[in-house]
């Protein structure tokens, strides 16, 4: 027989209302009582029924994750983090792909409105580039729909999670400079993503601090996808004076760079150093393992979802959480080849 909330209440020696308050993470429950209920839930392996909770609490107990991002590795990490938070708070997660297009603003907003009306999520998680849609935040506020953002371009007034991507990109570029590289290329991400501008800025900052001239020929636009990394790398390697190192704005494009280099018989990092950004699982699955910036995407997804779920109970208790990054120095970067050294 299925375990009922009455069984949990009986084992814990409390009322069904108290069990419900603990399951919904409501405040004003004594720590000792909360522990008794949680122990009973674990012992009985009780799983709250979403439909019953929805009817009782006038909520759907669902949050929706909205995305339009060509990097499957990044999205999988974000999704896993959101799921971690949902499971902790006994919520479900709804995935909704969208076509981000500021040019078709009305259509985009209508799509989100339809999701809110028909899907009835209690709140939304916005991922890049949707976090930066020019009018979405205002419309959600008008509809009184709570939401949290991951890496928004402008985080004033937002809750969620972000990272100092400018400084991280600057450190990665400085790593290449310290290895002796002077012709360092950068493959940017999609222009609609705030991250693209931040990572480009960090690259430029590091060049300036090292006294290196910015060369616009060494900056090529990508789309945050593997294929765009290949195309951009081919353009860079076709230059009369090709770069000795390429810093891609994400790992997917960096993997594309390695692919393009191998096409030409080049050996990474002997002939070309390559690095990326994000530290997705594929970064240490490819060969050579990729030097990259670790952006804790799973943790950021969990933080954003946790902030949103807290906001559903007490909006004043939530904030934008700034998470740390680390450089993951692996086998895809090395010293500049002797024959390519410049004064």
* pLDDT 10s digits, 112-153: 998 988 889 999 999 998 998 888 988 898 888 999 999 998
Q: Any idea how long the chain is? A: 343
Query: CB-based burial of residue 87 (10 Å sphere; 0-12 exposed, 13-18 middle, 19+ buried)?
Result: exposed
HSE-up of residue 275 (Cα within 13 Å, Cβ side): 33
- Give all strands of the β-sheet with 62-67 in edge-to-edge order: 92-97, 62-67, 123-126, 147-150, 160-163, 320-323
HSE-up of residue 23 (Cα within 13 Å, Cβ side): 25
pLDDT band at 339 (very low <50, low <70, confident <90, very high): low
* CA–CA gap between residue 342 and residue 256 (Å, rounded): 27
- Do 166-295+328-340 and 5-48 fall under one CATH topology? no
Q: For residue 15, which phi and psi values (nearest 5 degrees)?
A: -80, 160
Right CATH for 57-163+296-325 from 3.20.20.210, 3.40.30.10, 2.30.42.10, 3.40.50.2300:
3.40.50.2300
Mean pLDDT to the nearest integer, 216-231? 96
pLDDT at 288 over 90: yes
pLDDT band at 342 (very low <50, low <70, confident <90, very high): low
pLDDT at 343 over 80: no
pLDDT band at 54 (very low <50, low <70, confident <90, very high): very low
* CA–CA gap between residue 205 and residue 1 (Å, rounded): 64
Query: CB-based burial of residue 34 (10 Å sphere; 0-12 exposed, 13-18 middle, 19+ buried)?
Result: middle
Alpha helices in the chain (DSSP H): 5-12, 16-23, 31-44, 50-57, 72-88, 105-119, 136-142, 165-178, 194-209, 226-237, 251-263, 297-313
Which secondary-structure segment (H or E) carries 272? Answer: none
What pLDDT is stored for residue 1 in this prediction?
A: 62
Mean pLDDT to the nearest integer, 317-341? 89
- Give all strands of the β-sheet with 326-328 in edge-to-edge order: 219-221, 184-188, 245-248, 273-278, 291-294, 326-328
Helix (H, G, I), strand (E, B) or coil at 213: coil
* Fold of domain 166-295+328-340: Rossmann fold (3.40.50)
Q: Per-residue b/e over 100-132, b at no fewer than 16 CB within 10 Å?
A: beeeeeeebbeebeebbeeeebbbbbbbbbbbb
* CA–CA gap between residue 248 and residue 226 (Å, rounded): 11
Does 45 or 204 have the greater pLDDT score? 204
Identify the weakest region by mean pLDDT among 55-64, 220-229, 288-297: 55-64
pLDDT band at 56 (very low <50, low <70, confident <90, very high): very low
* CA–CA gap between residue 41 and residue 28 (Å, rounded): 19
User: What tokens were used for 10?
Assistant: 């009986």
Q: For residue 187, which phi and psi values (nearest 5 degrees)?
A: -105, 115
Query: Who's near 97: CB < 8 A, 6+ residues apart?
Result: 67, 68
Q: How many CB atoms lie within 10 A of CB 242?
A: 19
* CA–CA gap between residue 310 and residue 317 (Å, rounded): 7
pLDDT at 188 over 80: yes
- CATH architecture group of domain 5-48: Orthogonal Bundle (1.10)
Contact (CB, 8 A) for 124 and 304: no
For residue 210, the 8-state DSSP code is: T
Domain spans, the chain: 5-48, 57-163+296-325, 166-295+328-340
């Amino acid at each position: 027989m299925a375990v009922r909330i009455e069984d949990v209440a009986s084992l814990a020696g409390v009322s069904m209302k108290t069990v419900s308050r603990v399951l919904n993470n409501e405040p004003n429950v004594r720590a000792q009582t909360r522990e008794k209920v949680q122990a009973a839930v674990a012992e009985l392996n009780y799983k709250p029924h979403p439909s019953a909770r929805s009817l009782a609490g006038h909520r759907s107990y669902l949050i929706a994750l909205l995305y339009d991002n060509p990097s499957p590795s990044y999205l999988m990490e974000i999704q896993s983090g959101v799921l971690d938070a949902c499971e902790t708070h006994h919520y479900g997660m709804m995935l909704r792909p969208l076509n981000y297009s500021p040019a078709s603003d009305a259509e985009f907003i209508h799509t989100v409105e339809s999701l809110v009306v028909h899907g009835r999520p209690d709140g939304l998680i916005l991922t890049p580039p949707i976090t930066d849609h020019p009018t979405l935040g205002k419309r959600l506020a008008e509809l009184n729909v709570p939401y949290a953002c991951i890496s928004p371009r402008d985080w004033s007034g937002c809750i969620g999670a972000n990272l100092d991507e400018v400084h991280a990109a600057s450190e990665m570029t400085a790593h290449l400079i310290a290895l002796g590289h002077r012709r360092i290329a950068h493959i940017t991400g999609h222009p609609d993503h705030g991250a693209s501008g931040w990572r480009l800025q960090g690259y430029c900052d590091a060049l300036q601090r090292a006294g290196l001239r910015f060369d616009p020929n060494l900056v090529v636009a990508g789309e945050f996808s593997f294929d765009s990394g290949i195309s951009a790398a081919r353009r860079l390697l076709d230059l009369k004076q090709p770069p000795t190192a390429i810093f891609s704005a994400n790992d997917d494009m960096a993997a594309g760079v390695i692919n393009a280099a191998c096409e030409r018989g080049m050996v990474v990092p002997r002939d070309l150093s390559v690095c990326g950004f994000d530290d997705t699982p594929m970064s240490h699955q490819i060969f050579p393992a990729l030097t990259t910036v670790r952006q804790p995407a799973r943790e950021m997804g969990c933080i954003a979802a946790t902030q949103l779920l807290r906001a559903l109970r007490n909006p004043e208790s939530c904030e934008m959480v700034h998470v740390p990054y680390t450089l993951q120095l692996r086998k895809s970067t090395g010293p500049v080849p002797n024959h390519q050294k410049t004064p």
